[in-house]
Amino acid sequence: MRNSLEKVDIRSLSLDQLKVQLASLGEPSFRAGQIYDWLWAKAATCFDEMSNLSKALREQLKSVFVIRAVKVQQSQWSADKTIKSIFKLDDGNSIEGVLIPTPDRMTACVSSQVGCSLTCKFCATGYMDRKRNLNPDEIFDQVVLIDRQAKENYQTPLTNIVYMGMGEPLLNYANVLKSIERITAANGLNMAAKRITVSTAGIAKMIKKLGDDQVRFNLALSLHAANDQKRNEIMPINEQNSLKALADALKYYFANTKNPVTYEYIVFDGFNDSLQDAAELAKFCKHLPCKVNLIEYNPISFAAFQNAAASKIDAFADYLRGQGIVTNIRRSRGKDIDAACGQLAIKTGKEQ
């Protein structure tokens, strides 16, 4: 029997590649379709689950292939019913994902990288090293596992997926798009692309590539300042991706996809919470159809930032709305278990 390191990762194969592999084992091509259905539509994580295959074939598959399934290492429950999980990868690395239940939706927040390389000053993940990109199946598995949590705990399946966990999705472009392909495919999880949002810190050339690829999912830009000097201070990526470069890329993206963009804006006390800041943001919003999500900041031990006062956030929102900009205020969820926006850093707590 082959060493597991020598076995082929079966989920790295396309359907056509799987047909070729099975032909070499003397199996008819329709078997590939059956196996593919087990892997992606039924999310099987071991060959013994594939009950319409003979035992002999299942044993043969085990000798040639491997399924490197992601497992839940630990989960924590917030007082607001948010569930944060640490997921253990096959190579021993860990990532985090979050289930966010609200009255009208059930959202999975998934990671795209182990750690992050962008060093945003307000984000706990930004203080970690980036170890590697996640494979498409590792992202897929997070969705499957969080969907299972939603059904088991709240008797409701996932309605939405946001790529807002650990890592920068557009620095793992091919694998992120492949994971979305499997999640949305009729022979996958069959979820609507419009239920999926990919969030980026702002990489202009990759935003243009999204436009070239005419993606159907939603795009969110973590903006947090509409002033280059301030954005440089908290998001070093802005030094190579200025607001003008981002605006040009976003206009190109919109021209090719006709998808409006969401701007995520964390409101920091005394830093970006003035009406002047709101005016700068309103001006940036004029480039293309968009909406703004104002987000409460969740303080972390690494940074000195604090959340702006509720009155400041309300005044900021009122100004934007007065300029005709659709604006939502997003209250923090799961911050008592370090599961809120910007807090993911593999911190363990009491398991439930």
- Supply the residues annotated as catalytic: 96, 341
For residues 300 and 343, the answer to whether their CB atoms sit within 8 Å is: yes
Q: List Cβ neighbours of 242 (8 Å cut-off, separation of 6 or more).
A: 228
Q: Which residue has the tokens 């000097």?
A: 229
Give the span between the Cα atoms of 293 and 277, in whole angstroms: 15
Within 215-300, residue ranges assigned H as helices are: 228-234, 243-257, 275-285
Q: Which of left, alpha, beta for 42 (phi over 0: left; psi -120 to 50: alpha)?
A: alpha
For residues 115 and 161, the answer to whether their CB atoms sit within 8 Å is: no
Q: List Cβ neighbours of 195 (8 Å cut-off, separation of 6 or more).
A: 159, 160, 161
Strand-pairing partners, residue 147, are none
Give the span between the Cα atoms of 208 and 231, in whole angstroms: 21
Give the span between the Cα atoms of 309 and 289, in whole angstroms: 28
